[in-house]
Copies of this chain bind each other. A is one copy, B any other.
């Protein structure tokens, strides 16, 4: 049955179109009709795959996140633990190409909706789990990851990174990707410094 066989490709085509529209128009400005037009399918076809905006947003979030995470993995593949690996990951996340920008925009819009949509919150958490694993790999050897912090290093690094990226996207402030990268690296290195009284201990095992 070729129709079923085509389904995943069609879904991906629609999610790719939805990501472009959401990045350009914002989520409140995005209609199902606009996404159908961008994808080159009928609204009937779009509704066949995604019965409502929430389902479309959720799958689009999954789509852009998986697309980006593949790039992040490739960016740090084969690099040894250390500052260079963290910088490579951050450079990939902070890229200014279309795919990277779309990922940020879809995420920012999803945050606003996640506050009221439990299903979207679950999806966000699953995607964040994978992202945190990647981040943990990039932090290996730089900070003690199994320490007794109440807020894990991965969460704080993600928060500073996302917070600065949101500032860059939502204000006219000059805030370059490499500055954000260096700021995040600085926070990590400052936190990695051992207490002055005790001798430096190797973190790498």
| Chain A interface residues toward B at CB < 8 A | 23-29, 53, 82-83, 105, 108-117, 121-122, 124-125, 128, 150-151, 155-156, 158-164, 166-167, 169-173, 175, 179-180, 182-183, 185-187, 189-191, 193, 203-205
A105-B115 contact in complex given A121-B171, A164-B151, C-beta closer than 8 Å: yes
Determine how many copies of this chain the complex contains.
Answer: 2
Say whether A191 contacts B189, CB under 8 Å: no
A186 CA to B128 CA in the complex, in Å?
A: 24
Say whether B164 contacts A159, CB under 8 Å: yes
Say whether B156 contacts A159, CB under 8 Å: no
Interface class of chain A by DSSP: helix
A116-B29 contact in complex given A159-B159, A171-B121, A190-B190, C-beta closer than 8 Å: yes
Say whether B115 contacts A112, CB under 8 Å: no
Say whether A111 contacts B166, CB under 8 Å: yes
A136 CA to B128 CA in the complex, in Å?
A: 32
Q: How far is the CB of A175 from chain B (nearest CB, A)?
A: 7
A161 CA to B166 CA in the complex, in Å?
A: 12
A189-B204 contact in complex given A28-B53, A121-B170, C-beta closer than 8 Å: yes
Interchain CB contact (< 8 A) of A179 among B117, B151, B183:
B151
Interchain CB contact (< 8 A) of A113 among B26, B114, B158:
B26
Interchain CB contact (< 8 A) of A167 among B110, B122, B159, B187:
B159
